[in-house]
Amino acid sequence: GVEVKGKYIYVSRNSENKVYDKNGNEKNIEFNTSINPTENKKYYIKIVENGEQYLYGVVDEEERELIETKYTYIEYLFENYFVVCDENNKEGIINTDNVIKIEFNYDLIQKIQNTNLIMILNNQTNQTEIYSQKFEKLCTMQNANVENDGSTIKVYNETETKYFNENGIEINK
C-alpha cells in the first residue's frame, strides 16, 4: 500500500516498508514516524505512532529535534512557540529553545482565530485568561464567553464585558 503522511510517502510491499520524499528518494526514517509541516516553513511537527499512542515533537527542516518527541499533542502557535499537551492531559506553551512560557496547568490553550491573542481555559476554576502575543495577561474572567467578529474580540460574562483589537489593545465600545 501507499500512503502520504506529512511530507513523505510511505510504501509497504510484502513485508517491506520504505519511506520516500516527493522526488522519489528513499529516506532513512522510521515507518511509524511522520513529519508534518506547520505554517512556519522552519518547523515541522514530528509524530511517532507507538501502538495505540501517538507522541509529538518538533523538528527543523533538517529534522534535528527542537522539542523532544514525548508530548501527547503539539500545535503550532506563532513565531517559535507551540501549544503542547503533556501526559497528564494538561496544556502549556513551549518554544523551540524548550523554554516554557505558560506552565502545563491548563485544559485548553488556543490562538484566537485571525489574531495574535491566546485564550487559556482552566476547567477547575472555570477561568478564562487572555494573553497577548508577548505573553502579557490582558484579562482573567470567570465563566467567560469569547466572541471574535473579525476585528474585535469580546470577552464577557454576566457581570462584565471587555473588548480588544486583534493585537490585544483594550478598546471601549
**Residues 28-66 pLDDT 10s:** 999 999 999 999 999 999 999 988 899 999 999 999 999
pLDDT at res. 34: 96
For residue 172 the three cell numbers come to 471601549
3-state SS assignment for residue 30: coil
Q: Is the pLDDT assigned to residue 130 strictly greater than 80?
A: yes
Report the percent of the chain where pLDDT is more than 70. Answer: 100
Q: What contacts 90, CB < 8 A, 6 or more positions away?
A: 104, 105, 106, 107
**In the numeric block, which cell numbers belong to residue 2?**
501507499
The C-alpha cell at 118 is 491566546
Rg (CA), the chain: 19
pLDDT, tens digit, for every residue of 73-115? 999 999 999 999 999 999 999 999 999 999 999 999 999 988 8
Contacts of 164 (CB under 8 A, 6+ apart): 117, 130, 138, 152, 153, 155, 170, 171
Please tell me the distance from the alpha carbon of residue 6 to that of residue 11, in angstroms, as a whole number: 14
| Nine-digit cell string for 132 | 497577548
**Sign of CA pseudo-dihedral 42, 95, 122, 172:** negative
